[in-house]
A and B are shown apart, each in its own frame.
Chain A
């Protein structure tokens, strides 16, 4: 993963703040393996009670869209407001939709 043997590989960290919620990307860190990445994530990203579950993913395992393709990929959605569920009433008490 890393060209430099003195550098640990990079991991992307996802934290679930509360049971039932999704894991959100919070940042990245270096670690020698997955176990160390979880423990480092615990120390770097959950010091202030931010979470109750941690996922780590090798940064090299993530495929990203190309920023330059942004116009082609995302702009066509701009004028298709009918895709937004804005014509529905939100059920009362539904917080996470």
Chain B
């Protein structure tokens, strides 16, 4: 694999993470627990769509085969998606949705902060814009974790249940392979070790305040970066891609 191929894959991974999580959050649109929270959550979904577009546009340019961001989003199949497994997990109850975002945000913020120093100017610029948005995402998801964990007995149980269920997908966030090795060497992307430390620190601080227990690191489900997903992604794509599949090239 050369650096060009690695860069393409890396952009797809970043784009897919944001696209799939955005779609999941968007599923709450009109169903949020409060009107205000409904708007806040879908605002965050829109932030993520914007970040996904930035990375998929760049991926399309790097690939240079005439595909567009829309082709990449709507005409790739499940095994061609390289998002981390965490983001495709079902919404569940609101604690589950928030916990999934919290774990993602706790990893996403230090990653985007590090990417602002990327040797690739385009990636540095994308990250520079994303950092402000992601800082806010982490703040709100942390606050909700604390509200749930340190709230009522029921909210505490729901938050802990969500955390226990999702923890197995956190390992996939830190998997590094040839793609990362080539780009780390070129100074395009950061090594994961400091990102892991930042993630651990955020999780420790927030869970302590939320009176929640950090699950034990047991078996970690990995494979998202190689296109191996849980059963949920196929259904998500079937819904997300339906229109472009049924009416190719449809516009409005």
Known contacts: A8-B34, A30-B34. The answer to whether A44 contacts B143 by CB under 8 A is no
A35 to B147, CA, bound (A): 12
Interface range for A: 10 to 19
Residues of A within 8 A of B39 (CB): 40, 43-44
Q: Is B181 an interface residue (CB 8 A)?
A: no
Instruction: Tell me the residues in window 45-72 of chain A with beta carbons closer than 8 Å to chain B beta carbons.
Output: 47
Q: Is A26 an interface residue (CB 8 A)?
A: no
**B40/A43 in contact, CB under 8 A:** yes
| Distance of B148 from chain A, by nearest CB (Å) | 12
Residues of A within 8 A of B35 (CB): 29-30
Q: Is B202 an interface residue (CB 8 A)?
A: no
Residues of A within 8 A of B36 (CB): 29-31, 40, 43-44
A8, A31, A35, A36 pick with most chain B CB within 10 angstroms: A36
A32 to B140, CA, bound (A): 14
- Which chain B residue shows the least CB distance to A31? B36
A47 to B147, CA, bound (A): 24
A31, A39, A43 pick with most chain B CB within 10 angstroms: A43
Residues of B within 8 A of A30 (CB): 34-36
**A32/B147 in contact, CB under 8 A:** yes
**A39/B34 in contact, CB under 8 A:** no
Residues of B within 8 A of A39 (CB): 40, 140, 143
- Which chain B residue shows the least CB distance to A36? B143
Q: Is B168 an interface residue (CB 8 A)?
A: no
A43 to B40, CA, bound (A): 5
A29 to B38, CA, bound (A): 12
- Which chain B residue shows the least CB distance to A11? B36
A interface residue numbers (CB < 8 A to B): 8, 29-32, 35-36, 39-40, 43-44, 47
B interface residue numbers (CB < 8 A to A): 34-37, 39-40, 43, 140, 143, 147
User: Could you give 25 example pairs across A and B, Cβ below 8 Å?
Assistant: A8-B34, A29-B35, A29-B36, A30-B34, A30-B35, A30-B36, A31-B36, A32-B147, A35-B143, A36-B143, A39-B40, A39-B140, A39-B143, A40-B36, A40-B37, A40-B39, A40-B40, A43-B36, A43-B39, A43-B40, A43-B43, A44-B36, A44-B39, A44-B40, A47-B43
